[in-house]
Amino acid sequence: MSGETKARGHLIEIRDMYKIYAVGGEPVHALDGVSLSVDEGEFVAIMGSSGSGKSTMLNILGCLDVPTKGSYLLDGIEVAARSRAELARIRNRKLGFVFQNFNLLPRTSALENVELPDLYMGRLGRRGRRERAMMLLERVGLKGRESHTPAQLSGGQQQRVAIARALMNNPPVVFADEPTGNLDTKSSIEIMNLFTELSNEGITIVMVTHEDDIASYAKRHVVMRDGKVMRDDRDDGGARKTQDEVARLVKEALA
């Protein structure tokens, strides 16, 4: 243990977090006192039935929304009470996003969609930006499709553009909310293989899914119900869980 005097904190750490929506009558506790930490390089699936708070949790982790109360340390920085402008800056620098509906700009080429995060950042300059976007599109298997608009791409291809875009600013974390929700089985497997590659390269992935086969690619399974974490299960170096094992784990957690 020589040298290492200071223990490294978690990449993501939320403590006693609440998100309470007041719409009409009864307040909704979308998150009801959740604590969770994620370390660098983890591949986490957040599971649970509809309305259990998965997207709410992911949106807060991704700095797209703020909690009603609780603490959120991202890479050692408290982000729970930041302004919208500050959150936008943090998102752009540290976080990548992949959504169920791809969220690509229509009438805009694949290449330009991928370049976008650096247009806001302006780190690379015009030429560097183009080179990196070309490289990322090639890496997700879309060489030759650079000038296609989203409408000229299949769903799986659009999601690959979205993944390339998520990687543009080289973020340590990628958040994905039902990334295969709109894809057929073959495209879903391709997307999950891509996530597995990213995970093997050390990128932290936090993914919401309610599909057992998709969740089986992750190495840790967090199961939610009514805004609470019911189960938090790690593979701990063992073999990947099968779809059946994930299904059993979720069933037990929600029993």
Ligand X SMILES: Nc1ncnc2c1ncn2[C@@H]1O[C@H](COP(=O)(O)OP(=O)(O)OP(=O)(O)O)[C@@H](O)[C@H]1O
For Mg ion, the closer CB: 114 or 191 = 191
Instruction: By CB under 5 A, tell whether 180 contacts Mg ion.
Output: no
| Count of chain residues binding ligand X (CB under 6 A) | 13
Q: Are the C-beta atoms of 39 and 11 separated by less than 8 Å?
A: yes
Instruction: By CB under 6 A, tell whether 221 contacts ligand X.
Output: no
- Please choose, from the candidates 93, 10, 86, 78, the residue with its C-alpha nearest in 3D space to the C-alpha of residue 44: 10
The DSSP code for 53 is S
Q: Kindly state the smallest distance separating residue 184's Cβ from ligand X, in Å.
A: 20
Q: Kindly state the smallest distance separating residue 53's Cβ from Mg ion, in Å.
A: 9
Strands 12-21 and 28-38: antiparallel
- Please choose, from the candidates 73, 71, 33, 81, the residue with its C-alpha nearest in 3D space to the C-alpha of residue 53: 33
Q: Kindly state the smallest distance separating residue 68's Cβ from ligand X, in Å.
A: 12
**Residue environment code for 120-141, b if the CB has 16+ CB neighbours within 10 A, otherwise e:** eeeebeeeebbebbbebbebbe
- Please choose, from the candidates 108, 106, 158, the residue with its C-alpha nearest in 3D space to the C-alpha of residue 137: 158
For ligand X, the closer CB: 123 or 210 = 210
Choose, by CB under 5 A, the member of 52, 55, 59, 169 that binds Mg ion.
55
Spell out, one character per residue from 16 to 35, where the chain touches ligand X: x when CB under 6 A holds, - when not: -----x-x----x-x-----
For ligand X, the closer CB: 99 or 195 = 99
Residues that bind Mg ion (CB under 5 A): 55
